[in-house]
Amino acid sequence: MDDIRYPIGKFQPVDLITKEQRDEWIAQVAAGPAALKSAIAGLTPEQLDSPYREGGWTVKQIAAHLAENDMLVYSRFKHALTEDNPPIHRAEEAKWAELPDKTVPIESSVELFRLVRERWTTLMKGMSDADFERTFQHPLQGSVPLQRTLGLYAWHGRHHIAQIEAYQARL
- Tens digits of per-residue pLDDT, 111-168? 999 999 999 999 999 999 999 999 999 999 999 999 999 999 999 999 999 999 999 9
For 158, the 3-state DSSP assignment is: helix
Nearest C-alpha neighbor of 55 from the set 125, 129, 5: 5
Domain ranges of the chain: 19-170
Beta strands 142-145; 135-138: pairing state: antiparallel
| Confidence class for position 3, pLDDT limits 50, 70, 90 | confident
Q: Is 18 left (phi over 0), alpha (psi -120 to 50) or beta?
A: beta
Q: Reply yes or no on domain 19-170 having CATH 1.20.120.450.
A: yes
pLDDT at 2 over 80: no
Q: How confident is the model at residue 1 (pLDDT cuts 50, 70, 90)?
A: low
Reported pTM: 0.95
Between the two ends of the chain, the Cα-to-Cα distance in Å is: 17
